[in-house]
Amino acid sequence: MATGKVLSGRVALVTGASRGIGEAIARRFAAEGAHVGVTARTQEEGDHRFSGSIATTLTAIQDAGGAAIAVPADLSRAEDRVRVVDAVSGEFGPIDVLVNNAAITYFTASREFDLRRWQLMFDVQVLAPFHLAQLVIPGMQSSRSGWILNISSPAATHPTGPHYAAGSHTVYGMCKAALERFSTGLASELYADGIAVNALSPTGLVVTPGVVHHELDKRIPKDRHEPVAVMAEAALLLCSQDPQALTGRIASSQELLGEFNVAISSDE
């Protein structure tokens, strides 16, 4: 077992870990000694139009000397959620850290939004985190410790106006707002059990493959782009500190790192 690493001996499950923020968190946790379960729909390179896969994330972790297991899953399906938790806990033991990062997003005006897509977004971004939390909480309660982290977005905040900037992020913002309210409520429920629950948003724009696909990076000045390493480091803080001291937070990545005096180099 690795020593001197903040997650040594911990078992972590990171969803949406084929690319972007989820991949960075999974690799960072593994570097800090966690045994990491990674899951996403994209199992192998070429399965998706975007680069990245859980096989690639798994290889990167193992090549760096870490321990991981990759479990492909569609988190809109209840049976897949159960299967992922069973696979990770069967391989490494009870899950100590759950990071709900998986998302599927459509940017369409509300009056035109397909209700099947609306349901899919809520299933993946709200129901799946709720159900996965239900599945891992008993093990965390048994050990009297645990960390649940829900990845949110500045889109959860209310638009202000008039005049309003044009946008079609309403359903995405609804999902993230619900996720944040779930985070603070669950934190209050589990505080006495020694389990931390937090939500984390990027302070700037993390330029992931999905962001590029939707051309969101073209709408935000480059000086407001945020390296993915910032989110990974902030996630590590929220999943390694004393659950009695750091819980129930709706955290902004760069503000959190500043609070703990953690610096990320610009080339990370």
259-263 CB contacts, 8 Å cutoff, 24+ apart:
262/233, 262/237
Please check whether residue 264 is in contact with residue 233, taking contact to mean a CB–CB distance below 8 angstroms: yes
172 is catalytic: yes
Cα separation, 26 vs 164, in Å, equals 37
- φ, ψ dihedrals at 67, nearest 5°: -115, 130
For residue 147, give the amino acid letter.
W
Transcribe 51-101 into DSSP letters: S--HHHHHHHHHHTT-EEEEEE--TTSHHHHHHHHHHHHHHH-S-SEEEE-
DSSP 8-state secondary structure symbol assigned to residue 159: P
Write the burial class of residue 230 (CB in 10 Å: 0-12 exposed, 13-18 middle, 19+ buried): buried
Catalytic residue among 106, 164, 172, 191: 172
Task: Categorise residue 191: left if φ over 0, alpha if ψ from -120 to 50, beta otherwise.
Answer: alpha
Instruction: Write down the number of H helices and E strands in the chain.
Output: 9, 7
Q: Give me the amino acid identity at 134.
A: Q
State the catalytic residues: 172
